[in-house]
Amino acid sequence: MRSSEGSKPIRIGLLGRGTVGGAFAELLVGRADAVEAATGRRPELAGVLTRSEGDFGAILERSDLIVELMGGTDPARDFVVDAMRAGRPVVTANKQLLAQHGDELFGIAREAGVQLRFEAAVAGVIPIVRTIQESFGVTEVAKVFGIVNGTTNFILSEMAATGAGYDEVLARAQELGYAEADPSDDVSGADAAAKMAILARLAFHTPVNLSEVPYEGIEAIQPDDLAYAKELGLSLKLLGVAERRDGGIGVRVFPCFLYPGHPLAPIEGPFNAVMVEAPAITEVTMSGPGAGGVQTASAVLGDVVSILAGEAPVHETRVELPIVADVTSSFYLYLEVADRPGVLATVATVLGDHDVSVKSVVQRGAGEDARLVMVVHECLESRFAAAVAALAELDEMRAAPRSIHVIEKEF
Amino acid sequence: MRSSEGSKPIRIGLLGRGTVGGAFAELLVGRADAVEAATGRRPELAGVLTRSEGDFGAILERSDLIVELMGGTDPARDFVVDAMRAGRPVVTANKQLLAQHGDELFGIAREAGVQLRFEAAVAGVIPIVRTIQESFGVTEVAKVFGIVNGTTNFILSEMAATGAGYDEVLARAQELGYAEADPSDDVSGADAAAKMAILARLAFHTPVNLSEVPYEGIEAIQPDDLAYAKELGLSLKLLGVAERRDGGIGVRVFPCFLYPGHPLAPIEGPFNAVMVEAPAITEVTMSGPGAGGVQTASAVLGDVVSILAGEAPVHETRVELPIVADVTSSFYLYLEVADRPGVLATVATVLGDHDVSVKSVVQRGAGEDARLVMVVHECLESRFAAAVAALAELDEMRAAPRSIHVIEKEF
């Protein structure tokens, strides 16, 4: 662990204290020790600017780094420009700011020699910005595409699952907090277009004008479309696509059916997922929650840490955790037994004696023998192993029991 | 673009020229322009050490950075130690080296003040090392788990799909180059255990001794297990799991059934996928090819670039690519038409006149009207739009045609 004695704290000026801003302020306190351990500097809030309180100039003056979470471009753009010109690195989650003023802001960051980081602006906690900029920074990316709006993915998933109409599902999404009171930016595809403009710029190293990105939303999707599509095995997603085409690039947003087996087909609910394709990497898919206060705040904090780290830090252990050997699991159990009355009861008794509880069982005859295939509920592995050892001793066993771990559908 | 005039080349010493080493040497030449654009320094090979040729001392002398792709720990460990002690940053794809000698190597890197990067050591081209170390570096990770061995995932996928036995499928995997002549490290779970030891160390900031990671392989899996599992809707994967448990951590590798709907269930063939769970991020899943010469070499090159970049670079555009508007797509088309003989022929003729070709069609009567739902093959969007406009003019149309993009199963 790096010594923190005498280390200077890092003073963070926070612009905006909505859902994400509030979560960030909280996370900063909760993870202060971890940040200090990782970077040698302890973060502290130098000031918070809200619509009604705080003075930007004063906050800037006493901050080492600015975190912009106000949203919108006015006055966010001016604040970010001023901060960078004053030599402060900036972290922002503001997709409109980047999509509309990217060229200007990146130019100022370069001139001022400060970092401008924005992982949270695209696809929430999925580290797609870092991956494209750093891991695949010199890769000839052919295509970046995916589900970059969680609101619309939730609506489409619900419509497909329930057969309900767009308006009804939108209302439910609003109740659950997955859609805003005015959902037009999300459902029209405009939000996704801004994110794709950013991803296309990063992937292809070319300026992308947001006004050149056509988008189509999901407002016109009918339950019928989804019902018929189900028969064809298709699932509907609002896709953003940025790809090289005919010596140029195509960037756009549109609803799209995916065949089963497509890596994006199983992405349901308010999740995002992005795929990157390139000859040298084949394809990489990344998925996770597309929004949420604490999730977005986590991505912002990751950027703050990257700025503090500067030169990439060498891994360092911080604690010495014991390795726990006996954990719990659910199991699949395959038994070949004599096909005679009472054998299932015998097996069940042995399992019960070891506190192993059966979740489902399939029994099949096979001549003189039968097969019992079962799944048991989660239990201590040592207990399950003892039960299996006891089963192996039964007269009715025709072969050694076989068992395999099972992960239950618990999420 | 940064000026390259007078910039010093970065001289890379390459240890090992097997599949990955060869692919890396080739990629370095092919992406030299991109590396120079991204970092301001042009990479060049300072020397290559193979089993039969080259002198390590001489190569080290004329290198700025060492890339270790020999595999094994002897003499790789000595070379990496010497390189770092001589002040050279090191990139390696060597999981055994990290899993067995991590503490020593990270310690030397810190002492020497050089970077030691190893993205390619775990999960191929999936940027899981960077994600855990950087994006989630201060996140309280609860669990990291996934499919970290492509050979076994290919074998299990094939066994499940074909019903064939382990030996037969292993032989096929060897023919296809997905399994080595001596596959024991992969099929026993030992390879996955080394990778999980590395991931657990990074995620939990704790030393993990490879000898403390229990593993179980897939050699004993029977076609029967997979057949019964199919009936229960389960799919079998070789999982590596590292998780916090009872104040400590559990790290191990074992075959495991997954219920449908689990994010790892659809990962088939020689792919890897890793999930990270934490309260502040919910869960993030990343998948991609687990191996392959050029894919692994890409991950190595990404690390080289990160080292050259030092302080994270600000995004910079390098080219100005035109935006291409008229691209091609496949489409779903929904038509409400009068239910009279010949209407399908009329529709098909209009489509044919516009060079739009029908892939599948479902026709349903509904009183006086009928619905035609079809999927058409990929075609220019402008052509499809013209066809839809012409269809809208038909007397037989009972409502405006509706269309949605389709992505075909082409991978």
User: Which pLDDT score is estimated for A258?
Assistant: 87
Contacts of residue B95, defined as CB under 8 A and 6 or more positions apart, other chains included, come to B121, B122, B191, B194, B195, B198
Q: Which residues of chain B make contact with A202, given a CB cutoff of 8 A?
A: 315
Which of the 8 DSSP states describes residue B309? H
Distance CA A266, CA A261 (A): 8
* A66, A13 Cβ separation under 8 angstroms: yes
Q: Which of B41, B232, B283, B323 to mutate to test the interface with A (most CBs of A within 10 A)?
A: B323
Distance from CA of A132 to the nearest CA of B (A): 10
Q: Which residues of chain A make contact with B231, given a CB cutoff of 8 A?
A: 362
Mean pLDDT of B104-123: 92
Looking at the predicted structure, is the pLDDT value of residue B4 above 50? no
* Per-residue model confidence as pLDDT tens digits over B329-386: 888 898 999 988 888 899 999 999 999 999 888 887 767 788 888 888 889 989 999 9
Looking at the predicted structure, is the pLDDT value of residue A215 above 60? yes
Contacts of residue A264, defined as CB under 8 A and 6 or more positions apart, other chains included, come to A146, A147, A237, A239, A258, A273, A275, A285
> Of A112-121, B238-247, B280-289, which gets the smallest average pLDDT?
B238-247
* Per-residue model confidence as pLDDT tens digits over B184-239: 999 999 999 999 999 999 999 888 889 889 999 999 888 888 887 777 778 899 99
Q: Quick check: B134 and A309 CB within 8 A?
A: yes
Looking at the predicted structure, is the pLDDT value of residue A394 above 50? yes
Whole-model pTM?
Answer: 0.87
Give CA B115 to chain center in angstroms. 24
Which residues 359-378 in chain A show a CB within 8 A of chain B?
360, 362, 371, 373, 375
pLDDT level of residue A143 (50, 70, 90 thresholds): very high
pLDDT level of residue B1 (50, 70, 90 thresholds): very low
Looking at the predicted structure, is the pLDDT value of residue A125 above 50? yes
Mean pLDDT of B55-62: 97
Provide the annotated active-site residues of B.
195
Looking at the predicted structure, is the pLDDT value of residue B314 above 60? no
User: Which pLDDT score is estimated for B53?
Assistant: 93
Distance CA B401, CA B36 (A): 51
Provide the annotated active-site residues of A.
195
Complex ipTM more than 0.90, yes or no? no
Contacts of residue A37, defined as CB under 8 A and 6 or more positions apart, other chains included, come to A1, A2, A318, B205
Quick check: helix, strand or coil at residue A254? strand
Q: Which residues of chain A make contact with B278, given a CB cutoff of 8 A?
A: 298
Which residues 37-96 in chain A show a CB within 8 A of chain B?
37-38
Q: Which residues of chain A make contact with B327, given a CB cutoff of 8 A?
A: 243, 245, 250, 252
Distance CA B360, CA B408 (A): 12
Single-letter residue type at B190: A
* Per-residue model confidence as pLDDT tens digits over B23-53: 999 999 999 999 998 888 999 999 999 989 9
- The number of beta carbons lying within 10 Å of the beta carbon of residue B137 is 25
Q: Which of A407, A409, A410, A411 to mutate to test the interface with B (most CBs of B within 10 A)?
A: A407
pLDDT level of residue A1 (50, 70, 90 thresholds): very low
Is B3 in CB contact (< 8 Å) with chain A? no
Scan for tokens 């191929």, then name that residue.
B124
Tokens of A319: 């604690």
User: Which pLDDT score is estimated for A3?
Assistant: 42
Q: Exposed, middle or buried, A373 (CB in 10 Å: 0-12/13-18/19+)?
A: buried
Q: Quick check: A127 and B127 CB within 8 A?
A: yes
Mean pLDDT of B253-266: 87
User: Which pLDDT score is estimated for A231?
Assistant: 74
Q: A331 versus B91: which is more confidently predicted? A: B91
User: Which pLDDT score is estimated for A40?
Assistant: 86
Q: Which residues of chain B make contact with A138, given a CB cutoff of 8 A?
A: 31, 34-35, 37-38, 301-302, 305
Which residues 183-202 in chain A show a CB within 8 A of chain B?
201-202
Of B53, B127, B56, B40, nearest to B90 by C-alpha is B56
Scan for tokens 């199991």, then name that residue.
A331
Q: Which of B90, B198, B234, B405 to mutate to test the interface with A (most CBs of A within 10 A)?
A: B405
Tokens of B320: 């100005």
> Of A117-131, A219-233, A376-390, which gets the smallest average pLDDT?
A219-233
* Per-residue model confidence as pLDDT tens digits over A167-194: 999 999 999 989 999 999 999 999 999 9
Of B145, B126, B41, nearest to B298 by C-alpha is B126
Q: Quick check: A334 and B224 CB within 8 A?
A: yes
Distance from CA of A18 to the nearest CA of B (A): 17
Is B310 in CB contact (< 8 Å) with chain A? yes
> Of A382-396, B14-28, B102-116, which gets the smallest average pLDDT?
B102-116
Looking at the predicted structure, is the pLDDT value of residue A325 above 80? no
Looking at the predicted structure, is the pLDDT value of residue B327 above 80? no
Q: What is the CATH number of domain B328-406?
A: 3.30.70.260
pLDDT level of residue A339 (50, 70, 90 thresholds): confident
Nearest CA in chain A to B283: A288
What percent of chain A lies above the pLDDT cut of 70?
A: 95
User: Which pLDDT score is estimated for B321?
Assistant: 72
Tokens of A397: 């066993």
Which residues 122-181 in chain B show a CB within 8 A of chain A?
125-127, 130-131, 133-140
Distance from CA of B295 to the nearest CA of A (A): 5
Cα–Cα separations (whole angstroms), residue A181 to A21, A95, A174:
19, 20, 7
Is A236 in CB contact (< 8 Å) with chain B? yes
Looking at the predicted structure, is the pLDDT value of residue B255 above 70? yes
pLDDT level of residue B118 (50, 70, 90 thresholds): very high
Distance from CA of B99 to the nearest CA of A (A): 13
Q: Which of A323, A336, A372, A384 to mutate to test the interface with B (most CBs of B within 10 A)?
A: A323
Looking at the predicted structure, is the pLDDT value of residue A65 above 90? yes
Quick check: helix, strand or coil at residue B136? coil
Q: Which residues of chain B make contact with A406, given a CB cutoff of 8 A?
A: 234, 256-259
> Of A242-256, B4-18, B313-327, which gets the smallest average pLDDT?
B313-327
Domain limits, chain B: 10-121, 128-290, 328-406
Distance from CA of B145 to the nearest CA of A (A): 12
Is A297 in CB contact (< 8 Å) with chain B? yes
Q: A165 versus B5: which is more confidently predicted? A: A165
Is B27 in CB contact (< 8 Å) with chain A? yes
Q: Which residues of chain B make contact with A110, given a CB cutoff of 8 A?
A: 314, 316
Distance from CA of A113 to the nearest CA of B (A): 9
pLDDT level of residue A329 (50, 70, 90 thresholds): confident
Distance CA B261, CA B281 (A): 20
Is B290 in CB contact (< 8 Å) with chain A? no
Is A385 in CB contact (< 8 Å) with chain B? no
Task: Tell me which fold the domain B10-121 belongs to.
Answer: Rossmann fold (3.40.50)
* A31, A301 Cβ separation under 8 angstroms: yes
Nearest CA in chain B to A37: B138
* A339, A370 Cβ separation under 8 angstroms: yes
Q: Quick check: B409 and A221 CB within 8 A?
A: no
Which residues 86-115 in chain B show a CB within 8 A of chain A?
102-103, 106, 109-110, 115
Tokens of A222: 């009918």
Looking at the predicted structure, is the pLDDT value of residue A410 above 50? no
Is B286 in CB contact (< 8 Å) with chain A? yes
Mean pLDDT of A368-394: 91
* A313, A149 Cβ separation under 8 angstroms: no
User: Which pLDDT score is estimated for B145?
Assistant: 95
Is B321 in CB contact (< 8 Å) with chain A? yes
Is A238 in CB contact (< 8 Å) with chain B? no
pLDDT level of residue A366 (50, 70, 90 thresholds): low
Class for domain B128-290, per CATH?
A: alpha beta
Mean pLDDT of B127-132: 94
* Per-residue model confidence as pLDDT tens digits over A233-286: 788 999 999 998 878 888 989 998 888 778 899 999 999 999 999 999 999 999
Q: Quick check: A137 and B314 CB within 8 A?
A: no
Q: Quick check: A31 and B284 CB within 8 A?
A: no
Average pLDDT for chain A: 89
Looking at the predicted structure, is the pLDDT value of residue B148 above 50? yes
Q: Quick check: A402 and B225 CB within 8 A?
A: yes
